[in-house]
Amino acid sequence: MVFVCSARINFITKLFNLLMIPLPVIAQDVMVFDVAHIRKLRSLGIAGVLSGTLSAAPQQNLLLGVPLRLSIFDAIWLVRNHHAFLYDSAAYHQGLTTTNNSVDPSIDNKNQSNFITIPSTSSAPGPPPIEYQISIDEFMPKDTKTAQLYKVYSSLRSRGYWVSPGLRFGGDFVAYPGDPLLFHSHLIVSHADEVTNQDLVHRGRLATGVKKLWCVVDSMEKAYSIEWAGFG
């Protein structure tokens, strides 16, 4: 009876792993190359940033293609909510290379036939990505700032916002009420425990000028919105 239960648990675990999205980690960046996985990420409210050139128009950077680059906060949120797992892309491809380099003795024979047999069923080229899984503790930086920013990110996601990097608007994040292809961002979100008068003027005017609201979140996860009245 114990054996049956253990076998069932192992089966469920393997099935659950197959349903999760594999996220390859390449030099500390999470890059997704599979279009089906990108589509599934979008259904989860993760837009990411396309960073690959288009073969038909390689001399421009207005329209980009795969791979999709995920922020560290996107990746952490996906893993902690059991939608995906991280794996070491370099180790995975090294495993594929090692597997594919094993030579069949019949092929290495000088008297080999001029005909080859093509199998009717496919076989896996090597161990699956889950075998090279990276834990969230290995991936996540240990600094306090990252942990605090993730709390802000997670709070926005729990409220239904789509979240993207906010550097171009002078914030940590920009928050959209829905898919960025359909909506403009409404919030410029910054994490700060102290805000100077200069910050109030600069960022308040910037946010109002681009028709957004500047939102400041402190370490206690209290949020304050700043709007520059009579400007823009």
Same domain, 70 and 157: no
Alpha carbons 150 and 157: distance in angstroms, whole number: 10
Alpha carbons 40 and 29: distance in angstroms, whole number: 19
pLDDT bucket at 92, cuts 50 / 70 / 90? confident
72-80 and 144-158 helices cross at what angle (nearest 10)? 60
Same domain, 26 and 124: yes
Higher-scoring residue by pLDDT: 137, 15: 137
Q: What is the pLDDT of residues 137-189, one digit of tens each?
A: 999 988 999 999 999 999 999 999 999 999 999 999 999 999 999 999 999 99
Same domain, 151 and 135: no
Alpha carbons 131 and 118: distance in angstroms, whole number: 28
State phi, psi for 117 to the nearest 5 degrees: -100, 125
Q: Which residues contact 52 (CB under 8 A, 6 or more apart)?
A: 64, 65, 66, 67
Task: Compute CA distances 70 → 31, 55, 66, whole Å.
Answer: 6, 22, 12
Q: Per the domain annotation, does 72 fall within a domain?
A: yes
Q: Per the domain annotation, does 104 fall within a domain?
A: no
pLDDT bucket at 121, cuts 50 / 70 / 90? very low
Same domain, 118 and 173: no
Q: Per the domain annotation, does 106 fall within a domain?
A: no
Q: Per the domain annotation, does 218 fall within a domain?
A: yes
To which H or E segment does residue 163 belong?
strand 162-165
CATH number at residue 218: 3.40.1350.10
pLDDT bucket at 125, cuts 50 / 70 / 90? low
pLDDT bucket at 122, cuts 50 / 70 / 90? very low
Same domain, 120 and 182: no
Q: What is the pLDDT, as a whole number, of residue 183?
A: 96
Q: Per the domain annotation, does 107 fall within a domain?
A: no
Same domain, 134 and 156: no
Same domain, 3 and 62: yes
Which positions are catalytic?
176, 184, 212
Q: Per the domain annotation, does 105 fall within a domain?
A: no
CATH number at residue 68: 3.40.1170.20
Q: Per the domain annotation, does 36 fall within a domain?
A: yes
Alpha carbons 99 and 91: distance in angstroms, whole number: 12
Same domain, 3 and 71: yes
Same domain, 117 and 154: no
User: Which of helix, strand or coil describes residue 153?
Assistant: helix
The amino acid occupying position 168 is R
Domain of residue 48 covers: 1-97+112-140
Same domain, 90 and 197: no
The amino acid occupying position 228 is W
Higher-scoring residue by pLDDT: 174, 58: 174
Please state the rounded mean pLDDT for residues 70-84: 97
Q: Per the domain annotation, does 103 fall within a domain?
A: no
Please state the rounded mean pLDDT for residues 73-87: 97
Same domain, 146 and 55: no
Same domain, 32 and 120: yes
Number of domains in the chain: 2
